[in-house]
Structure 1
């Protein structure tokens, strides 16, 4: 038998009579261990040691650089040009660039007020700030609450827009992309993004925007997150340690060495031109922020991180929310790495060193290796070596390297250094999910594009108080909802390995294994983070707690309504017919304040008998309503409103549609800021003027009239008015009025926005328009043919008066009809100079007048032309070049629908502008071509034109789908 090889002995080992099953399994293990298990496990150990060394080198490099940065590097305001933007008494707010603030949200019931309120409180001129709330909520109650909050801030004069979409295509990236397409943001230069739980300080823009203004090569300024609920529980403390290292070290090193760092998705300011140049927001991964940052970096843009500019935010305090967040943060970068690695390698615009840094350090080591080595080595390979003692793990790999890495990670949060031991165990648990997510991203598996919005609890409002409130709720939950089987499975595996090492091992790993077993077990049972009951449970409990605290007894007829939370009560009142909501007697006195914040809308078709309208409004006034809308457009006759409405001291916003305003001797609306009057009937010609004058803090006024009204001379005198829109459309009237009695007189020294849509008035006298004002003009001076103006010198001179009144404006949009009249006026009189005008948009019918017209705008920077039915002169283009083309014009955008018949006109106009614009930076041509061949011909023609400005970028955009079909360079 001595010469028999093992393969002849193997069948004998399966003799069930001679050996028990455990002995048989042991024999099989011994047979496969030496030739198979040991080599494979040793290879795994070697690979893990190599990855550990790679991670150690990266951490040491980061540590050395951050020490040098802190000791010797200059602060950002010394490395880059930084000059605070100052208010100018003469120019007003024109020195400030227009900034867009985007707040994407999804069912953010607990925190939506935080970001909206903080954004509305930013210290920036109101006419230079646009706040855009991008609500993708699927809960109709939440959507209405968010919209009401936006309306509340709008009534205070904040330029805030509430936007929703029909679907959630692209998730956050889709919402941000859709928001940038809105027409009212086209003039914005920079965009700031805040998630729903972020609360910037008022000086946020003043400390960041100057870096972008004075350094044109910077595309992004990223601020640091500051966590308001980091002390809420151990879970949030662990997150703080990881994220503080990311901001203190990784972001700072990437910024200081000009290598690369990623956009964090929020609390950052982007240059919109850089976003467009990089291709805009893309939803191909769940890390749209990192995707955009990489593409912009490959275009040569620089990023700046400001560690001392901090924005308050909330950490997820439930384990479930944190797991979903980490899945997205791990899967997304791996998936992006897969999609972009070849694009990075082939890129020729960035240095070789930067490519190496992005591919190796940023993606491969931090986003892939760090997760793999943590999980595979410390949770799988190391425990397996206990079962296979033939495989040796050097002590420097199992103890020294992880100890050094752990110490280096503690740099970001010195106050939590005593929690390092817990942090190690916690990170090992989370490495299971991160490794799984990384593999899903690399291989683009089913969950690669899964997007689950991180749930927030609103802890930023009062972290401690919120936690105490949650403790009062009964801990009622279904155990299967809290169990995490994956963690429990690994807890069992590590426990077995620990027991084996305790019984047979020599390395004393069992202490670590038992501690790691406990951490996996605790996580598997969901005993980590905070527990939050359902919304229904919270509401019921709060009502019960409130009643118990008051000592009340629940019996039939008891006032249950007043115990409901204010947001829920407001929602119930909003869903009721307005007449019922305002006249309800079910509210306890302390809850009457809920009516103050409601937007009450009396609608003739919904609220029944109009004879009771006056009494309902009087009741609303007595209850100190702040927002009121009365709509009688579905009635056959206008309803008369009570006099008490015009003496309401609490009214902030008032909207009246097709109502009759009585004659009154005295009226006072001391707190009214927003007024909207549409097609109302006035007892005499002076009522509207008196009404406006009675509002000492009025900020926004809209007046829509028709020819049937009695008010022919509209006077608007206001020292506080910021926004004014006047509409008069004669086409809606029963008869034509060709008299010369219709006039508009405006005197509003603080006016920053003026819109005139009027085809009836013959005179517009405008005084004291602010130098930063934006103006939109569509008036015809009540003429059907411009040649009729020659017969009336009064109407002819009215054009000059209107232009003189608007000459201080900064941004102007002119309709094609108005421009025709101005063109005819130019045949006899010159257009006054507009020294402050930097942006002009108009619909152009006649190109002959363009050079002379542009001469009136010597400092024009942006020109937007929509061409329609244009006729041109072959000799006009090269005979005269206005001053703005030689000194200031930087952006030109031309739109030409159906260009087939006018391609020659487009060619001459484009050639003229390109060959004579000295400082032009960007030229965009939007065309509706007749097929691919015509598109190709247009592009070829553009390439042959000489450009006076060597830095000019040419874009050709297909009009029907807004897709860029050509860009050079």
Structure 2
């Protein structure tokens, strides 16, 4: 029995690795092709619509000034731009800083929320901001984001030229990537599993997941969907399902770039990623039971992928590791032969190859230092994700059984100007 479980677990791991290699290839093809779209679309010059940018902010005093400075510098007609900062019951200077920008720039407005309609999380803040927005297109950015000057323009350009797209997603980069080992791990993870995986899924299947930032959605569509689900910790993934189910597609267009700050401490990373994992588990459980009733059948593939990732894949890794370690102390009659060891080694080499392929598309990231980080990353950062998913499953199961209310964790920000050079080089 132990042998069968072990080899089944190994098969699950390999299936996921091969699938991700497939995505990396598709992502690379998309990377080669998407720039041609810009010239083609710009020849079809159309009047630009009014855009409302929603920025939910709760106690974001540390980063909000830098974010608002980036917003007012956007290359988009100011008479068609509306920046809506949602000061969600902050107890620091977030609202004060926002009000100072509103006094200087007529296209900036601040929405101050107060209890009972405040402090309930990002979805609630976005819904409050949506009520005050007047644009035909709604763009969303987190409070720690500094989009490149043409980011919003590219999002709108893609929406204008793709009537089937209900939303357009850009890519994001890590502003503090060189701060420490953790931020280097996150930077590599972002390029591989946000940038390249998104591009690969869009290239092969026409599927993209809305992230929490740097995306634009048609106002008519978000109104039809009645805003964001305030119970969802991963409001972006949940919204993705509803957009597809409404009959629209979501386009991935990496010309739209934003830079964001990532956690610089492990405890902050743990809390943020736990929220992400729990949020995605919520979405899977919410929609899996009505999988075959979804109108857009292609999204079934995405739900199965999330189920595979957050349940089967991690369970496969955990079971194989537990069996192998237990067999060192208790004889489980486990016959881990040369073939199994070879498969483990090949899996590691495949992991390294996948990551380096992804890094090769960013000129500043394909280097010897990152290669060494990737070698180390498999045995540290990747293994931390296993523990985190187990913990998230425990919390989510407890919430469901005890009927607890979901609590939204706001990621702690860090005061830093590091990484500004990287932004300037890419603007």
TM-score normalised by the chain length of structure 2? 0.86
Contact 2:23-2:201 within 8 A present in 1 as well: no
- Match for residue 428 of structure 1? 383
1:453 to 394, 410, 426: 410
In structure 1, distance between residues paired with 2:64 and 2:109: 14
- After superposition, residues 166-185 of structure 1 pair within 5 angstroms as 166-167=114-115, 168=118, 170-182=120-132, 185=133
1:77 corresponds to which residue?
37
| CA distance in structure 2 between the aligned counterparts of 1:280 and 1:201, rounded to whole angstroms | 26
The structure that is helix-richer by fraction is 2
Q: Do 2:54 and 2:84's aligned partners in 1 also have CA atoms closer than 8 Å?
A: yes
Alpha-carbon distance, 1:457 to partner: 0.4
The aligned residue for residue 49 of structure 1 is: 10
Given candidates 105, 109, 115, the residue that maps to 2:57 is: 105
Counterpart residue number, 1:488: none
**1:149 aligns to 2:60 (yes or no):** no
Report the equivalent of 1:834. Answer: none
Q: Distance in 1 between matches of 2:197 and 2:72?
A: 31
Contact preservation (8 Å) 1:385, 1:392: no
Task: Tell me the equivalent position of 2:247.
Answer: 300
Q: CA deviation at 1:120?
A: 1.8
- 1:257 aligned counterpart, secondary structure: helix
**1:777-833 per-position Cα deviation (integer Å, ceiling 9, x unaligned):** xxxxxxxxxxxxxxxxxxxxxxxxxxxxxxxxxxxxxxxxxxxxxxxxxxxxxxxxx
SS of the equivalent of 2:216 reads strand
User: What is the DSSP-based 3-state SS (H/G/I as helix, E as strand, rest coil) of the residue aligned with 1:199?
Assistant: strand
Equivalent runs, 1:809-824 vs 2, <5 Å = none
Task: Compute the displacement of 1:356 (Å).
Answer: 4.4
For 1:162, the equivalent position in structure 2 comes to 110
Alpha-carbon offset, residue 114 of structure 1: 1.5
Give the secondary-structure state (helix, strand or coil) at the position aligned to 2:172: strand
Equivalent residue, structure 2, for 1:621: none
CA distance in 1, matches of 2:45, 2:96: 33
Larger RCO: Structure 1 or Structure 2 (Cα < 8 Å, ≥ 6 residues apart)?
2
Q: Output aligned runs, 1:938-957, within 5 Å.
A: none
1:335 aligns with 2:282: yes
Aligned residues of 1:114 and 1:199 also touching (Cα < 8 A)? yes
Q: CA deviation at 1:339?
A: 0.5
Specify whether residues 259 and 125 from structure 1 end up closer, same or farther in structure 2 by C-alpha distance, changes over 3 A only: closer
Q: Does 1:365 align with 2:365?
A: no
Compare CA radii of gyration and give the structure with the larger one: 1
Cα drift, residue 281 of structure 1: 0.6
Q: Which runs of 5+ in 1 are unaligned?
A: 1-38, 87-94, 466-969
Alignment root-mean-square deviation, CA: 2.6
**SS, match of residue 52 in structure 1:** helix
Paired residues of 1:189 and 1:273 also in contact (CA < 8 A): yes
1:590-619 Cα deviation digits (max 9, x unpaired):
xxxxxxxxxxxxxxxxxxxxxxxxxxxxxx
1:84 deviation in Å?
Answer: 7.0
**Hey, what's the Cα distance between the residues in 2 that align with 1:84 and 1:371?**
47
**1:319/1:328 Cα in 2 relative to 1: closer, same or farther (>3 Å)?**
same
Matched, 1:219 2:166: yes
Residues 179, 231 of structure 1: CA spacing in aligned structure 2 closer, same or farther, 3 A cutoff? same
Deviation per residue, 1:271-327 (Å, 9 max, x gap): 111212334210222001110111101222111112233211111101111000110
Q: CA contact under 8 A between 1:48 and 1:376: conserved in structure 2?
A: yes
**Counterparts of 1:848-859 in structure 2 under 5 Å?**
none
Q: Which residue of the partner structure matches residue 229 of structure 1? A: 176
Q: Is the 8 A contact 1:440 1:448 kept in 2?
A: no
Alpha-carbon displacement from aligned partner over 1:705-756 (angstroms, at most 9, x marks no partner): xxxxxxxxxxxxxxxxxxxxxxxxxxxxxxxxxxxxxxxxxxxxxxxxxxxx
**Deviation at 1:443?**
6.8
The SS at the match of 2:349 is helix
TM-score computed with the length of structure 1 as normaliser: 0.39
Query: How many angstroms apart in 2 are the aligned matches of 1:322 and 1:412?
Result: 22
After superposition, the Cα gap between the structure-2 partners of 1:74 and 1:267, relative to the gap in structure 1 and judged at 3 Å, is closer
Q: Conserved in 2, the CA contact under 8 Å of 1:333 and 1:441?
A: no
In the alignment, structure 1 residue 401 sits paired with structure 2 residue 347:
yes
Q: Following TM superposition, by how much is the alpha carbon of 1:216 offset from its aligned partner in structure 2, in angstroms?
A: 2.1
Distance 1:270 1:74, change over 3 A: closer
Q: Is the 8 A contact 2:207 2:299 kept in 1?
A: no
* CA displacement at 1:129 relative to structure 2: 1.4
- Structure 1's 113 and 74: CA in aligned 2 closer, same or farther, altered over 3 A? closer
State whether structure 2 residue 264 is matched by structure 1 residue 309: no
Partner residue, 2:22: 61
- Which residue in 2 is equivalent to 1:210? 157
* Residue 156 of structure 1, CA deviation: 2.5
Residue 145 of structure 2, aligned match among 190, 195, 198:
198
| SS of match in other structure, 1:462 | coil
Aligned partners of 2:236 and 2:36: how far apart in 1?
23
The alpha carbon displacement at 1:173 in A equals 0.3
Contact 1:212 1:219 in 2 (8 A): yes
Query: CA–CA distance in 1 between the matches of 2:121 and 2:157?
Result: 31
CA distance in 1, matches of 2:45, 2:66: 27
Tell me, what secondary structure is at the counterpart of 1:177? helix
Q: Give the conservation status (yes or no) of the 8 Å contact 1:82–1:211.
A: no
**Partner in structure 2 of residue 437 of structure 1:** 392
Contact 2:145-2:259 at 8 Å conserved across structures: yes
Decide which moves more: 448-457 or 223-232. 448-457
| Within-5 A mapping of 1:835-874 | none
For residue 411 of structure 1, give the secondary structure of its aligned residue in structure 2.
Answer: helix
**Matched residues, number:** 404
Contact 2:183 / 2:262 at 8 angstroms: preserved in 1?
yes
Consecutive unaligned residues of structure 2, counting only runs of 5 or more, are: 360-365, 422-427
* Residues 172 and 195, structure 2, Cα contact 8 Å, conserved in 1: no
Shift of 1:47: 3.5
